[in-house]
């Protein structure tokens, strides 16, 4: 038969008719009038080429064909319900792998406490932390489905992504305790020492350098490293200085920090996923954990 001609509602009514063996009772159960239920029964008889319900002594009884239909019909309708509105699986029973794209900051703050919380709430969720190659690349990954969650700086207007602001970060100038300029920190002394710059792409200039140029100033970038994790030990073992997000500085010992001597814009940090994943229970749970951790820092 041509499935395009089949009305699924007809099967719902048939299920009620077979359960009730009574047209009026079946009509009341599915919210139809008695004539509409009778008309549906006639359509079912044509569809299955069987009377389905036969009149007996003051009642109706199911034909052998109708009896044979009851179990597979209920299985079919249950399968449709599970397809359209699947039952929610408890977090403790979920078995799923999620891919999360983020830079090492905020990974420094997130990964350990996130894993600890998942061990208790959803131990079957496995995580793959993917490398960060910039906000544009992270957006493409979300759209193409090669990552599930991303932490980055995303623009406010995006029809395809759901975006939540987690925090607004600001920068501090960090150096080792006992650094020669720790007791005399100002613009000139700040620019007098080589800087460590963090860039996953190997950039040697940032918006800070553009601002310094605009002011007729310049700094020396003495070292470029790919992630923030390398910076604290490098600062502690040298007279180099670095401008770091405040939360990175807060996690390290042996450093002192100062506000930049010129205004430096901070940045918001967002958590994003594609709208098509909005009902994914595991994804939403991990997203809630990430948001909670970063908003508390």
Give CA–CA dist 5/255, Å, rounded: 73
What's the burial of 277, exposed, middle or buried (CB within 10 Å: 0-12/13-18/19+)? middle
What CATH class has 91-169+268-296? alpha beta
Give the predicted TM-score (pTM) of the model: 0.69
In the chain, domain spans: 3-84, 91-169+268-296, 171-265
Extract long-range pairs of 183-191: CB within 8 Å, 24+ residues apart. 185/258, 185/261, 186/261, 187/217, 187/261, 187/262, 190/219, 190/241, 190/260, 190/261, 191/217, 191/218, 191/219
Cβ atoms within 10 Å of 103's Cβ, excluding its own:
21
- Those residues whose C-beta lies under 8 Å from the C-beta of residue 9, and which sit 6 or more positions away, are none
Average pLDDT per block of 10 residues along the chain, 297 residues long:
69 89 89 91 91 82 90 84 77 93 90 95 94 88 91 85 92 96 94 93 90 94 92 95 92 91 92 89 95 89
Amino acid 3: pLDDT: 58
Amino acid 100: pLDDT: 96
Amino acid 4: pLDDT: 65
CA angle 262, 265, 268 (to 5 degrees): 155
CATH superfamily, domain at 171-265 = Periplasmic binding protein-like II (3.40.190.10)
Amino acid 5: pLDDT: 62
3-84: which CATH topology? Answer: Arc Repressor Mutant, subunit A (1.10.10)
Hey, do 91-169+268-296 and 171-265 end up sharing a CATH topology, with the first three levels equal?
A: yes
Amino acid 213: pLDDT: 95
């Amino acid at each position: 038969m041509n499935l395009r001609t089949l009305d699924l509602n007809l099967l719902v009514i048939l299920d009620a008719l077979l359960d009730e063996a009574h047209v009026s009772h079946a009509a009341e159960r599915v919210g139809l009038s008695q004539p509409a239920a009778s008309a549906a029964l006639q359509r079912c008889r044509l569809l299955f080429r069987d009377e389905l319900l036969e009149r007996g002594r003051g009642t109706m009884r199911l034909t052998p064909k109708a009896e044979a239909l009851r179990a597979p019909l209920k299985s079919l309708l249950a399968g449709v319900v599970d397809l359209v509105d699947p039952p929610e699986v408890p977090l403790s029973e979920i078995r799923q792998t999620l891919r999360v794209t983020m830079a090492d900051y905020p990974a420094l703050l997130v990964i350990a406490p996130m894993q600890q919380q998942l061990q208790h709430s959803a131990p079957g969720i496995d995580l793959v932390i993917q490398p960060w190659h910039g906000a544009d690349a992270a957006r493409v990954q979300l759209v193409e489905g090669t990552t599930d969650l991303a932490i980055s700086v995303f623009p406010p207007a995006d029809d395809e992504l759901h975006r939540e602001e987690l925090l607004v970060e600001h920068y501090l100038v960090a150096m080792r305790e006992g650094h020669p300029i720790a007791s005399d920190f100002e613009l000139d002394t700040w620019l007098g020492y080589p800087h460590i710059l963090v860039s996953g792409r190997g950039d040697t200039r940032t918006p800070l350098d553009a601002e310094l140029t605009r002011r007729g100033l310049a700094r020396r970038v003495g070292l470029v490293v790919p992630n923030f994790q390398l910076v604290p030990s490098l600062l502690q073992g040298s007279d180099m200085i670095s401008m770091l997000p405040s939360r990175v500085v807060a996690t390290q010992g042996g450093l002192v920090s100062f506000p930049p001597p010129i205004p430096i814009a901070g940045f918001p940090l967002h958590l994003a996923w594609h709208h098509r994943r909005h009902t994914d229970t595991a994804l939403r749970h991990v997203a809630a954990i990430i948001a909670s951790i970063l908003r508390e820092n």
